[in-house]
Chain A
Amino acid sequence: MSGYLEGIMVLLAVNVVFAYGGFLPLAAGQLNLGLAGFAAIGAYSSAYLSNVFKLPPLLAIAFAGIVAGTVALIVAVPVLRTRGIYLALATFALGQIVQAIILNLEIVGGAAGYPVAAFIRLPAIAATAVVVVALVWLLFATRFGIAVTAVHDDESVADLMGIDVRAFQVAAFALGSAIAGVGGGLYAHHFSFIEAQYFNISLSITIVLYVLLGGTQTVIGPLLGAAVFTLLPEVLRASANWRYVAFAAALIVLMALRPEGLVTGAQLRRLLGLARAQPRHAAVAATLPKEPSG
């Protein structure tokens, strides 16, 4: 595999992981504008663990995910007491604070950045991405997925149905942040150098935008969004800045015409042949159908 192609695939894998970091809170109805901050926590803690304690990179990255998730858990309690726009702003402030703190941490290089000694290649990165996607997919195939979507759709009815709204919101927020941390760790150990300036609000916004591009109604949406964001500009041979311009413009148009994103739940069900587009109104015998379910 050529170096160029490997680079693209690595970027795709990292973006996919970031995408699922953004997807978790969005699926529960929260906008986490501090994603880059959690990615930074993951990047820096994994880099520190592998540089200083000589931990194998993948282990360091796993730990880093836990660190990021734990920080998210701690701040989730006050942060998730806010709602809607206030929540988005609180996460935004959080991301800015994390970035500012890291800029001041001389132990990890401060403003000069932090070189990362250990290096991982595409197979490890791709495998991690696959594991993340599989875990999220499995999780959403359980009651967790139903509960989170219920919380997203109608908090008060979900509560009346016995769902612990706050608990699921915290869980989605913490898990998403942990995944973002893993993404940061992957990034750190392949690009060999991290700086706080990279983990800025633009990164958070970009991730949120490509998750929304793919659509947050299905588990496959974020994957598609990350893929389109990463691969389409390569296919079109766009320069780094024009790709952002095109991406932003596409998002603006998409939000106007189809805010649900590229893949919707109904569409996916139809696509997989699971639901009829129009329900039949004929009388139906009350017997269980014989085709396999699931």
Chain B
Amino acid sequence: MLGSIYAMVAVALTLSIGVLRFLNFSIPGLFMIGGMTAWASLRAGLRWPLAIAAALVAGAFASLVVERFTWRWMRGAQDFVPLVSSMAFLLLFEHLAVIYWGSELRTVPPLFANTDWRVAGLVISLPQLGGLVASIALIWALTLALARTRLGRGLRTIAEDSDTALLLGVEINRIVPVLFLISGLFAALAGVIFALNYRQVQPFMGEMVGLKGISAMIVGGMGSVWGSIAGGLIIGLVEVMSIGYFGADFVDIAVYGLLLLILFVRPTGLFAAAFAGQRA
């Protein structure tokens, strides 16, 4: 389950890196915004479809703000500037959340009580299934869009060479915000799924959970959507296994240890070669 959440965050990250060469550190913050807005909306009495919608809107909006102030404002500046600004945005979002909602851990009310199914010895709840279905569907839709639509072609052209893209008439200023929008939606939705399944949110959940999406992205292969999915599943699996063998406290060591190992041994990621032709 967590695997699909990591995969969604990883996809959001990989889109930015693959197309814009920009490690968007604000994405864990968008993850948190999605999760906490969902909680806040439910607490305020909204029904769950509206709560989810509110969370997605908040995430998308925040993402567009990031776009405006990291990417749009400083094209052509030094390499590290967008990364640094995105890190500042992470801090910004986290502390605004603390100011607005307090720093305590909050519980999300259960949505669908008693809707667990037993399938082949596994217990699956509706939120789990819903989350899984939603993430698979969205990622599939994304890959279709990247392959078939004009937007997708534009994104892939920019990824290849942004100068050529300009020459070919790709309207970078129109497409890039859409990219940020998609990233934001994925990150926020991942946060929503987390909130509804694990029923806990707090302003620093981006650091706790969202950052592992970076590990998933790198392990799977930077810039590859399918790699991100694989990476997410791998990280999820690594977590489960390390809990099983070493205990819950070891999880972070395993996840980040794997990241470090991949960075040393095969920085392009496990599946970069296999998916080379299908870069986001």
Q: When A and B assemble into the complex, do they touch directly, with CB atoms less than 8 Å apart?
A: yes
- A interface residue numbers (CB < 8 A to B): 31, 78-79, 81-82, 84-86, 88-90, 92-94, 96-97, 99-101, 103-104, 111, 200-202, 205-206, 208-209, 212, 239, 241-242, 244-245, 247-249, 251-252, 255-256, 259
Q: Find out whether the CB atom of A31 lies under 8 angstroms from the CB atom of B80.
A: yes
- Counting from the closest, the 5 A-B pairs by CB-CB distance are A100-B252, A248-B92, A244-B95, A251-B88, A96-B256
Within 8 A of A (CB), among B94-138: 94-96, 98-99
Contact of A86 among B73, B85, B249, B263 (CB under 8 A): B263
- Which of B81, B87, B92, B256 has a CB less than 8 Å from the CB of A100? B256
- Note all chain B residues with C-beta closer than 8 A to A248: 88-89, 91-92, 95
Q: For B96, what are the chain A residues with a Cβ–Cβ distance below 8 Å?
A: 241, 245
Q: Are B84 and A256 in contact (CB under 8 A)?
A: no
From B91, B215, B253, give the contact of A247 (CB < 8 A): B91
Within 8 A of A (CB), among B59-102: 69-70, 73-74, 77-81, 83-85, 87-92, 94-96, 98-99
A259 touches B260 (CB 8 A): no
Interface pair B88/A86, CB less than 8 Å apart: no
> Do the beta carbons of A90 and B260 come within 8 Å of each other?
yes
Q: Select A252's contact among B17, B70, B204, B218, beta carbons within 8 Å.
A: B70
> By the criterion CB–CB under 8 Å, are B95 and A90 in contact?
no
Known contacts A88-B23, A97-B252; is A78 also within 8 Å of B91 by CB? Answer: no
- Structural contact, A89 and B91, CB atoms closer than 8 A: no
Residues of A within 8 A of B244 (CB): none
Partner of A90, one of B81, B87, B253, B264: B264
By a CB distance below 8 angstroms, the chain B residues around A205 are 25, 87-88, 90-91
Residues of chain A within 8 A (CB-CB) of B91 are 202, 205-206, 209, 244, 247-248
With a cutoff of 8 Å between Cβ atoms, the chain A residues found around residue B84 in the complex are: 208-209, 212, 251, 255
- Give the residue name and chain of the A residue nearest to B250 (CB): A104
State whether A245 touches B92 (Cβ < 8 A): yes
B208-225 with Cβ < 8 A to chain A: 211, 214-215, 218
Most chain A beta-carbon contacts within 10 A, residue among B73, B88, B92, B259: B88
